[in-house]
Amino acid sequence: MDMEQYIASGILELYVYGALSEKENAEVYKMLQQYPEIEKEVEEIEKGLMQLSTAVSPYNPEALYNQVKDKLNLTNGDVKVIPIDKKRSNWLGYIGWAASIALLITIGAQFNTIQKLQKQVVDVETENMLLDGKINVAEEDLTKTKTLLNVIRSKDIIRIPLQAQKISPNSYASIYWDKNNQTTYIDVAGLPTPPPGKVYQVWSLKLNPLTPTSLGILDTFNENDIKVFALSNINESEAFGITLEPEGGSESPTLEQLYTLGMVTS
């Protein structure tokens, strides 16, 4: 725990002024038992409170009269001194004490209010930062979507539908091959979520003889909301296939885990 930060928070002053809840009082008391420096700080605050209350001294008419008499050089025979009611003096002293404590409690309450307002400001700023982050992500997604639409609609793009295989009869995928830019876009929205420890791997195939070349793994399948991936492809592909492989991918496709397959047509 940062002792300086805890002491500077103002909670110890509120503890001394009696402005904390029962639960907060118990927490501060526990801290006093554990940390001598906090206990010492509370003692200093109490000492300061005593000094402040002493400064608000009770009104003493008799002392004031003697001061005025000395200033005017009057003798005892010139003026008849009326005895001062000590009860009244004590009562004024209590008023001074009460005023001091009331002032300190008011200050403590204002301090607590300021802290709450500061927390509200921080909360609003945090919400704004989160909102800005969401807006930035949405703008990035929109840019990616527009780029993909331009790719799909290009007359130079070759589209290869990948059909479901025996292991997953309901699966499907699509390849959008930009041969000029040597890039392949794979739409795998029709594939099921891979189980833990498994990833989809995309293959470029030469058919005679059958020669598979890995284009890459789709290891961010779960994080990719639109389920479209861009992979480099410098091959003269005759077909494409997607298999389910162990995490990290395989050197050659596991044909028993072939989910989709499609031929390139001229």
pLDDT digits (tens, 9 = 90+) for 106-117: 776 777 788 788
Output Rg (C-alpha) for the chain, integer angstroms: 41
3-state class (DSSP) for residue 263: strand
- Count of domains observed in the chain: 2
Residue 91: per-residue pLDDT: 46
Residue 18: give the domain boundaries.
Answer: 3-128
Strands 210-217, 198-207: pairing kind: antiparallel
Residue 100: per-residue pLDDT: 63
CB 163 within 8 A of CB 251: no
Confidence of residue 209 (pLDDT cuts 50, 70, 90): very high
Calculate mean pLDDT across residues 4-25: 80
Distance of alpha carbon 225 from alpha carbon 188, whole angstroms = 11
Residue 171: per-residue pLDDT: 97
Instruction: Tell whether 254 is covered by a domain.
Output: yes
Give the least confident one: 16-20, 22-26, 214-218, 232-236: 16-20
Give the C-alpha distances (Å, rounded to integers) separating 234 from 76, 184, 239. Answer: 119, 9, 14
Instruction: Tell whether 31 is covered by a domain.
Output: yes
Q: Is 195 in the same domain as 252?
A: yes
End-to-end CA distance of the chain: 71
Neighbouring C-beta atoms of residue 102, cutoff 10 Å: 11
Instruction: Tell whether 139 is covered by a domain.
Output: no
Q: Is 99 in the same domain as 162?
A: no
**Mean residue pLDDT across the chain:** 80
Q: Is 246 in the same domain as 178?
A: yes
Residue 89: per-residue pLDDT: 46
Q: Say whether pLDDT at 163 is over 90.
A: yes
Distance of alpha carbon 200 from alpha carbon 217, whole angstroms = 6
Distance of alpha carbon 214 from alpha carbon 105, whole angstroms = 74
Distance of alpha carbon 171 from alpha carbon 165, whole angstroms = 8
